[in-house]
Structure 1
């Protein structure tokens, strides 16, 4: 893990506030290591409103998730309505077909006992004895609780308490009838993700994205601590993160440090946190001390700590701004603004919500030249969200809140690649045999070496592979993620009938493109490259 930080302006700037950018970069992870076992719980809404295409899509996506997991992983699933139906007790995934068969047996009920289903899964995972596994609940609902615990404060507290015990909660809101503000707060307090599924067709992509998150986890329960020197004091947290202040015992009314709860982080990821500070005294010899503590999952959940001292240049009074900090601060402010706009809209303050979005668009446009590609995309996104309101879309508030979640940790543009310059050449990897748990580390290591050479467009020729297992599926998902983050792409080619069947059963074909031949795959990638020029 790389911890770094910098200021918007030199410490000596006459401005009343200064902005601190803290950045965490996680490595791609050691290629020769196996990921920690996953202990997953599915809590699926089976109330009457889920009947039909909604339930079908959830069952299909859940079945795909089962197929992406390995035999080392554990899964339990419940479906809740007026009561809680245990679909699958917690078991290792040795026999996936029976689990999928049980998922397909779910029948809809009437009411929505969200807390009943969720608490059942939380208790099951808490009692599971696996010491070095990662535990997560995926909670899906299309409405508000009608039975059981309905108080938002209590539900958020359940998520927080479970996370302190090492169990995170991801929440998926389905359709237009749920409380997006509540579900997002549950996910934030529970250390998981919040997703919005507007149509059943989107369900598979959301489960794919979630598996990409939990299948490559690097660090859990990350906590940042910012210690303010005597010349600086806390002003505000711009990023949408949970935090609290620790008072200075020697000076009344002053904050000694800020503690930020970042949550979990997958391998090959970037998280940017933006904090505003207020200079109170010049010429202090102290630095801003920043530390990060977390459990590194590749080391058997070993507690690790990183520290970074940011020197303050009080002599430089130029006020020159760092463009990187400006961009990240703009993104963080936009994320917080989108959430506020969603809340305003939900409470009926439509004009105020639109006005806030107009202010965000104006600020983004003013700074666009600093990072044209990133900020143009951001400006277009906010404009599209505003148009949803103008069109009276019933899902506008949900899209605002979901977009705020996606912007929570910045651009995701900077990766710890040691100065690698990526090019547009295509690399063809040709597998020489079947791919299973034992071959995956070697293959990932080979791909990582090619990425260090600047390759980001890769063809996987599987002509000599008649068998791939779930570890290989997870590997392909991970490699596709590596490449896409760097503007590249992965295409698999020359699939034998047996491997095609695996792609079809696991619905991997919906997420990773395939070609009949290596030459066709190269042509597809070349067309992709040329379209971006």
Structure 2
């Protein structure tokens, strides 16, 4: 038993360094190890239809009174929204989409041909209730087929086949044209989404990343048109396309080989046609004098003392997760109720629904009670999101060509994850994160021998795998 306690203390030294620096003493970990996950607080809308489930839990239902702000001031909230599962009677959600295809010179040959095949696949699986626009862009935008109901599929595919490569990459004008077309037939109850494919850097029109991201954010929040992005090959800006999808409320895909384009678009279309929750937003009033430190897993905005999490479209059976880190003032002594309010449209009727939860947070002067109450489910998510961000930072170091420094950072992270897996041995996502870091370290050891193409593909693969873990996508 004494040996077991010594091992546990060693585990703690590594694990606390990730999540809770200065939070525990060495002797406190045993209390943490034996704590079971607390039950979820669940809120559901008052509806006769299968409803979205809003679930939340705190990292600890207690906080210590009159404690130094540097040690005990942080509060974590884990929030999940889950759409009802699909059934045999489930409807197929209609879509109102714009496919925006890069046709710059770098798309010549197989790339453009497979992009056309993807468009054909999408067209073949739409019906007269769906709307589609086809747009191609290089230096300028070509409206191949304006937004309209899908009636003559052969005519649509013939127009797609007329697209030819030419010029540079005016991504911004392609983006704006796609938004304009989707808004032409915008309707609640439809998946209103832009699908943007690019294989190159934005080198014409607006090229500033932050202006493009802000456009995606504003259109999503104000007009409820979402954006999914598809990066092809080694030449595109993966950070930009990932951020556009994040703030645009859609998905990001890295397509390594052109022949995979139709397969990836197939996945995106299948998910769109299963969307049963739209415009999903969780609102949390932030207590006075509290601060929002970080939000993981979801785009968010803060206006005055209210935090808004945008989960947007949710397809049948899907769960979306966010983790909020708050800092309370050291003078806080009251027992609190932290409210969460969720609003969304329930399909197919597009009816506005609401759900709410109150999360209790009690003050205590009992250190033993406080340390025994940590929630293992929340703690494992803190580890996952923090290590995911640390790997992103390590990969960014390698973007600058400093593979040795990136390897050092990734190796430190691997050691921390190895310790965490002893605490959470059944956590599949943490195991995926560990495997990704381990594999990336192996690639970094060879990176100096890679040619430029191989180095770029190494970076894009690692970032995309890390993104999928953060989003918990299969």
TM-score by length of 2: 0.78
Aligned position for 1:390: 445
CA-to-partner distance for each residue in 1:256-281, whole Å, 9 max, x for gaps? 44322233222211112112233535
CA-to-partner distance for each residue in 1:306-363, whole Å, 9 max, x for gaps? 1111112434323443221122222222332333333333244434433332233223
CA-to-partner distance for each residue in 1:139-186, whole Å, 9 max, x for gaps? 111111222222223222221232121211111111111111111121
CA-to-partner distance for each residue in 1:102-122, whole Å, 9 max, x for gaps? 223321112112222222221
For residue 6 of structure 1, the aligned residue among 57, 60, 68 is: 57
* Cα deviation, residue 33, structure 1: 5.2
* Cα deviation, residue 286, structure 1: 2.0
Q: Secondary structure at the match of 2:352?
A: strand
Aligned position for 1:290: 340
CA contact (8 A) 1:239 1:336 kept: no
Report the Cα distance in structure 1 between the residues aligned to 2:231 and 2:375, rounded to whole angstroms: 38
Q: 1:263 to 1:391 in 2, by over 3 A?
A: farther
Q: 1:85 to 1:306 in 2, by over 3 A?
A: same
For residue 271 of structure 1, the aligned residue among 320, 330, 346 is: 320
TM-score by length of 1: 0.69
* Cα deviation, residue 49, structure 1: 0.9
Report the Cα distance in structure 2 between the residues aligned to 1:129 and 1:329, rounded to whole angstroms: 38
Please tell me whether residue 191 in structure 1 is matched to residue 246 in structure 2.
no
**Please, what is the CA RMSD of the aligned residues?**
2.5
CA contact (8 A) 1:241 1:260 kept: yes
For residue 148 of structure 2, the aligned residue among 91, 102, 105 is: 91
1:360-371 superposed matches below 5 A: 360-369=413-422, 370-371=424-425
Please tell me whether residue 303 in structure 1 is matched to residue 357 in structure 2.
no
Please tell me whether residue 344 in structure 1 is matched to residue 397 in structure 2.
yes
Q: 1:360 to 1:262 in 2, by over 3 A?
A: farther
Aligned position for 1:50: 107
1:107-186 superposed matches below 5 A: 107-128=164-185, 130=187, 132-163=189-220, 164-186=222-244
Q: Secondary structure at the match of 2:411?
A: helix
Once the two structures are overlaid, the 10-residue window that deviates more, 31-40 or 50-59, is 31-40
CA-to-partner distance for each residue in 1:41-80, whole Å, 9 max, x for gaps? 0110111111112112222222212222233111111111
Unaligned ranges ≥5, structure 2: 1-51, 448-454
Report the Cα distance in structure 1 between the residues aligned to 2:230 and 2:378, rounded to whole angstroms: 32
Aligned position for 2:264: 206
CA contact (8 A) 1:240 1:336 kept: no
Structure scoring higher RCO (CA < 8 A, sep ≥ 6) equals: 2
For residue 380 of structure 1, the aligned residue among 435, 457, 474 is: 435
CA contact (8 A) 2:189 2:348 kept: no
Unaligned ranges ≥5, structure 1: 248-255, 413-484, 486-533
CA contact (8 A) 1:42 1:78 kept: yes
Q: 1:201 to 1:363 in 2, by over 3 A?
A: farther
CA contact (8 A) 2:297 2:323 kept: no
Aligned position for 1:59: 116
